């Protein structure tokens, strides 16, 4: 197994994909960057810790330790935008969510380098996801692929105002059965925190590519506003204020809700016992 790719195998019909919580940047790329901190600024901070109870539910976890600055495994590998006409970052980003340049002059990756990064890092992540989907589909006949993300509550270049705490993405209902969406919504609504389904975030390439409800593969994305489990940076984002430290006590209520969310996913995909 690659040292940047982590796979924890369980036998429940649930896969938790964590594509953006990594911060590893190879030296040959990092030396070309304007700032190592900027290059890690947009990570989904501490998401792997937030969901580290998933194995207790029998879930399989697939996570990359690689920074999304190297390659974003949740983008269309063709380079096509997931949100045409809206600000977003690329397969191999050259700027941050706030529009700050990542690379020094003339150091951005060209098409050949992007293709090499796809082969070296993108392809193995998706080979691992596909292998686990196929394994669990053979066991259960139905599987939920849950794509776990987080983002700062405010990112003006990407969306106006403050993001709801829970942002559920189903590719406008195409990536999973409505019964799964309803079960996840119910678990989030019980928290009393603001939520939305298929708002600004409808699901990235992972959700859209793998979600095939007619084949028993139900993909759903959860984008959390960071304030739900850590302190959002305020008023300015600096190396001193971001990322906020992970504090188990602050994260505990969020983990409780997410526990109910993942249980709902398992229940949805587990066949009912015969009468």
Higher-confidence position of 104 and 78: 104
pLDDT at 215: 97
Q: Say if residue 273's pLDDT is above 80.
A: no
Residue 120 has which token pair?
A: 């070296």
Higher-confidence position of 45 and 160: 45
- Mean model confidence pLDDT for the chain: 95
pLDDT at 82: 81
Q: Return the residue matching tokens 């029998």.
A: 58
Mean pLDDT of 198-208: 95
DSSP state of 141: S
184 Cα distance to chain centroid: 16
274 lies in some domain: no
User: Using one digit for the tens of pLDDT, what is the confidence trace for 211-224?
Assistant: 999 999 999 999 99
62 lies in some domain: yes
pLDDT at 274: 65
Alpha helices in 67-154 (DSSP H): 111-117, 123-140
275 lies in some domain: no
28 lies in some domain: yes
- ω into 243 cis (within 30 of 0): yes
Residues with Cβ < 8 Å from 58, sequence gap 6 or more?
Answer: 10, 11, 12, 14, 266
Question: E strands along the chain, which residues?
Answer: 5-8, 14-18, 60-64, 143-151, 166-169, 195-197, 217-225
50 lies in some domain: yes
Q: Say if residue 42's pLDDT is above 90.
A: yes
Q: Label residue 49 exposed, middle or buried (CB < 10 Å: 0-12, 13-18, 19+).
A: middle
259 lies in some domain: yes
- For the ranges 33-47, 153-167, 208-222, which has the lowest average pLDDT? 153-167
Question: What is the extent of the structural domain holding 238?
Answer: 5-269
The CA dihedral of 67, 72, 74, 79, to the nearest 10 degrees, is 180
Helix, strand, coil shares of the chain, percent, nearest 5, are 35, 15, 50
User: Cα separation of 255 and 248, whole Å?
Assistant: 9
pLDDT at 103: 98
216 lies in some domain: yes
Q: Label residue 262 exposed, middle or buried (CB < 10 Å: 0-12, 13-18, 19+).
A: buried
pLDDT at 81: 79
Q: Say if residue 1's pLDDT is above 60.
A: no
Q: Say if residue 33's pLDDT is above 70.
A: yes
* CATH code of 209's domain: 3.40.630.40
Q: Say if residue 17's pLDDT is above 80.
A: yes
Structural domain total, the chain:
1
pLDDT band at 2, cuts 50/70/90? confident
Residue 99 has which token pair?
A: 């529009």
184 lies in some domain: yes
């Amino acid at each position: 197994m690659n040292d940047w790719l982590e796979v924890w195998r369980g036998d429940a019909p649930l896969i938790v994909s964590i594509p953006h919580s990594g911060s590893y940047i190879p030296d040959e790329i990092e030396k070309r960057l304007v700032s190592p901190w900027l290059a890690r600024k947009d990570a989904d901070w501490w998401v792997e810790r937030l969901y580290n109870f998933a194995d207790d539910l029998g879930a399989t976890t697939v996570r990359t330790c690689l920074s999304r600055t190297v390659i974003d495994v949740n983008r269309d590998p063709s380079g096509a935008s997931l949100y045409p006409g809206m600000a977003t970052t690329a397969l191999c980003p050259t700027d941050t969510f706030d529009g700050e340049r990542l690379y020094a002059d003339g150091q951005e990756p060209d098409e050949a380098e992007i293709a090499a990064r796809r082969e070296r890092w993108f392809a193995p992540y998706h080979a691992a996801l596909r292998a686990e989907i196929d394994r669990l589909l053979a066991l259960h006949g139905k599987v939920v692929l849950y794509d776990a993300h987080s983002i700062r509550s405010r990112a003006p270049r990407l969306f106006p105002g403050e993001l709801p705490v829970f942002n559920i993405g189903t590719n406008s209902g195409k990536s999973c059965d409505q019964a799964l969406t309803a079960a996840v919504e119910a678990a989030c609504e019980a928290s009393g925190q603001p939520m939305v389904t298929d708002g600004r975030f409808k699901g990235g390439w992972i959700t859209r590519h793998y979600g095939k409800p007619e084949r028993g593969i139900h993909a759903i994305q959860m984008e959390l506003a960071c304030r739900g489990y850590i302190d959002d940076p305020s008023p300015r984002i600096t190396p001193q204020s971001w990322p906020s430290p992970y504090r188990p006590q602050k994260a505990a209520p969020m983990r409780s809700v997410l526990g109910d969310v993942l249980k709902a996913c398992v229940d949805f995909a587990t066949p009912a016992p015969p009468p």
